Structure 1
Amino acid sequence: MQTAQLTAVDLPEKGLGTAARTVLFMALFFFFWISLNPFVDLTGAAVLDPSAGVSNRLNQLISLGLSGSILLFGMLHTLRNTILQPRALLIPLFSWFLFVSLLSNYPMLGIKGVVLAILMTVNASFYLLLPVSERHFAKMLAFGTLAALALSYYGIVFNPAISIHQASELREPMNAGLWRGHFPHKNSAAAAMVVATFFGLFVMSVWSRFLGAVIVVLAVFFLLQTGGKTSSAMLPATIIVAWTFERFRFLRIPIAVGGIALFNLLAVGSAVIKPFGEFLTQLGIDATFTNRADIWRFAFSAISDNPILGHGFKAFWQTEELVYSGGTIETWAVAAANGHNSYLDIALTTGIPGLVLTLIWVLFLPLRDISRMGPEEQHSPLTRLYTRIWLYTLFNAGLESLFYEGGNMLWFTFMLALYGFRFQASARTIHSRGGRQPRGNAGF
């Protein structure tokens, strides 16, 4: 890494200017946070919309255009060697995903999924090189987050029929009355509001206390209206856990590794191990997590059928072979959209080797990077932001399938945290004419 060899004032002269960097940064931010098709109608009209195919093609074209622009910027940047790092891990990881997909019943699904996952990773590996300073980064986050919040509140006030879940929705009418804004589901809206709160806290620390506080208040209020109990509980819990993680080095591995293991034991373990589940029930603990237990039992059974190769990347849930297998007589879980557990889904589709490689990337390498940071970087607002996003996503992954999900805002933001840790680990403070400048933070 050459991060420490540059100063912040040098970067605008390396390739794109500040204005162009800002435009590219915001374009990709809005692509994930707002999308080209906000306010999806869930009552059935959208399904019958003949323009749906055109919208998908447009989405693909925009995605490829943004990815190409980011890649071109990265290739012209002094730190272009950061692309797809660490390659010693990511090349075997994606190669394995491709290998198991070619052996599956739906190889094209896996190939498309791998290509999209690589594109997302390339984007994330260069994205943090766009800001020219920590303050510039905070300003862009503030503007983008406020725009996304404003759009969601606009929908609630002026078009509640497609911003608030309705009883007429085909899939989950029980969500009627819960806010989702311009997001497709209350759970995705809740996750977005948690991340928006983290952004607001960062903006308060780095740039504007007032605008940061506005973001926090708007995001937290919206979160409470989504009915997302898990995210609502995890927001304060993550802030507390991240504070503990930052200050007590000896607790970092127990918090990250032990926390994920314990969370999955309580959730998936209670569903798969019947005596353990009954024991938790006797203690008054409901570990079913909104009836996900049936899905987890079914997924665990499918993993045992092919624990090494899995069933192929993106080649299990919602496939014709599964949905029309007649298995609904035994369990409704065959019709589930996903496994509602990222770790379980990766083991299910890419086998135990795929899960191990994933855990090395998303869990153990960040722990190593954090341990390599200098004292100033470990306690900086940027590292605090990355840590909150990282911990929240790791624990939320125990209830939602989001790893390697193309177009998923939370997965992309999570990868930014992973690359943020890498930049911070190679950073050191450099003194410039304008005073002390923390170098390496977020790549700028």
Structure 2
Amino acid sequence: MTEIAGSAAPGLADQTDRLRRAFGGFLFVAIFLHLWISLTPFVDLTGEAVLDPSAGKSNALNQIVALLLFACTLGYGLGHPMRSAILQPRAFLAVLFLWFFVVSLISAHPMLGIKGVVLAVMATANASIYLLLPNSERQFAKLLGIATLIVLAVSYYGIVFKPTLAIHQASELREPMNAGLWRGHFPHKNSAAAAMVIASFFGFYVLHAWSKLAGLAIIGLSFVFLVHTGGKTSTAMLPAILLLAWVFERVRFLRIPIVVGGIGLFNLLAVGSAVFRPLGDFVTQLGVDATFTNRADIWRFAFSALADRPLTGYGFKSFWQTSELVYSGGSVETWAVAAANGHNSYLDIALMTGLPGLVLTLIWIIVLPLRSISRLGPAVEHSHLTRLFIRVWLYTILNAVLESLFFEGGDLLWFTFLVAVYGLSLQSSAALTEVARPKTRRTPAHASRAEASRLDGEPF
């Protein structure tokens, strides 16, 4: 009996391990598709409901699925050997989200803020666990490649079979001037353009880490779609970020100037040109639209509102699209009161959580990743995976100057950005190792560099 029990135990352990790995892979793809495709793709933009500030903000089925995925992901993460990585750095994030919670409590819409904080914490927890779901870097690349190809297939399906819902129409009420531009299953051409840039980064990574054919297909399909979205900023930023990331990787002393200087200069030229007339005239002389596609009116209005509440702001998620702002009658002075957001993530965070909230956010998304990158070992520093994380990180923090991305719980770009931030942190302190070649020995999914070296694994 002892021998039978002893021989059965390893078999049961192997079966449990296989189920755990399969479940992790399933969760990886499920979360990816939920964010990139959603439960309501191909939204009709011609209905009057799109003009209602309260429309589309609640979907019972979407909430149930999101909560279910969160519960499954959290359960998987808590059972993982590297569960200590969840929601790190915890003390700092506790301070950040506590501040968001406090300014929301004293705002005119406390429940909006509290709900936003809860969703932001859930998204952060999911992102901190996401890289623990794959068993190895090869599985990560394979799952990433397959999921991205599915997203591209859905987008092109819309262009071919649902053109009225996948291509902007002149009958749309908000922006009829976008007629003819591709958006696929995404709600807007700009969100589609940003997604295609990120998908291109995925393609370059998959090309080297899993399949050349799949990687080239992703790059080609993403670029063609990107061009047809008419997203000038994203189209220009794709080659720019590839070049910038190349310099960032190889010239260490330029890393801080690239990031801090890039964000500062981009904000100065964009937002500054809207506020300071001489700077706007200078930007115009450079041949650049100083209004940045009519964003200037929004930025001027946002700055005037921020000046009234610089310390606490107006509460998390409690400014744009609130009923009193949209219907305040301020549209007589500026149309910006009806804007969906501030079209600048840094300005939006300051507007919602005050200057202390902006400082805390900058520390989390700029300072800490720079510290993680500075701690990378030589082998990991120039790996394809680190390169992927850096590209996503650089693109998001620069694109955030023209779009509102930060702390958007269900936004694919914000989630991917968080995954990149946590990826850089894991790269600096741990390694995901390849499954050992011999079948008689298994390598754990995550191990320290010393452990990875001892097991002859390949670093994540």
**Is the pair's TM-score, using the shorter chain for normalization, greater than 0.5?**
yes
Matches of 2:333 and 2:81, distance apart in 1? 57
**Structure 1 residues 230, 335: closer, same or farther in 2, change over 3 A?**
same
| Unaligned 5+ runs, structure 1 | 1-9
Which of 227, 230, 234 is the aligned partner of 1:231?
234
- After TM superposition, the structure 1 = structure 2 runs for residues 103-252 of structure 1, keeping only pairs within 5 Å, are 103-252=106-255
What's the secondary structure of 2:240's corresponding residue?
Answer: helix
- After TM superposition, the structure 1 = structure 2 runs for residues 20-419 of structure 1, keeping only pairs within 5 Å, are 20-44=23-47, 56-419=59-422
Shift of 1:12: 9.7
Matches of 1:45 and 1:332, distance apart in 2? 18
Q: Letter of the 1:89 partner, please give it.
A: F
**Structure 1 residues 330, 20: closer, same or farther in 2, change over 3 A?**
same
TM-score, normalised with respect to structure 1: 0.93
CA deviation map 1:295-333 (0-9, x unaligned) = 001101111111010111000001112111111111110
CA deviation map 1:164-190 (0-9, x unaligned) = 000001111000000000001000000
Shift of 1:19: 1.4
8 Å Cα contact 1:117-1:405 kept in structure 2: yes
Q: Letter of the 1:61 partner, please give it.
A: I
**Structure 1 residues 428, 274: closer, same or farther in 2, change over 3 A?**
same
Shift of 1:47: 5.7
8 Å Cα contact 2:137-2:433 kept in structure 1: no
Shift of 1:13: 6.7
What's the secondary structure of 2:457's corresponding residue?
Answer: strand
Partner of residue 443, structure 2: none
Matches of 2:351 and 2:327, distance apart in 1? 19
State percent identity of aligned pairs. Answer: 65
Matches of 2:315 and 2:434, distance apart in 1? 51
Aligned length: 429
What's the secondary structure of 2:358's corresponding residue?
Answer: helix
Matches of 1:11 and 1:260, distance apart in 2? 49
Shift of 1:72: 0.3
**Structure 1 residues 216, 433: closer, same or farther in 2, change over 3 A?**
closer
Q: Letter of the 1:349 partner, please give it.
A: M
Relative contact order: is structure 1 or structure 2 higher (C-alpha 8 Å, sep ≥ 6)?
1
Matches of 1:370 and 1:362, distance apart in 2? 12
**Structure 1 residues 217, 73: closer, same or farther in 2, change over 3 A?**
same
**Structure 1 residues 429, 97: closer, same or farther in 2, change over 3 A?**
closer
Matches of 1:53 and 1:373, distance apart in 2? 43
| Unaligned 5+ runs, structure 2 | 1-12, 438-454
RMSD: 2.1
**Structure 1 residues 303, 16: closer, same or farther in 2, change over 3 A?**
farther
**Structure 1 residues 313, 11: closer, same or farther in 2, change over 3 A?**
farther
Deviates more, 1:75-84 or 1:346-355: 75-84
TM-score, normalised with respect to structure 2: 0.90
**Structure 1 residues 432, 151: closer, same or farther in 2, change over 3 A?**
closer
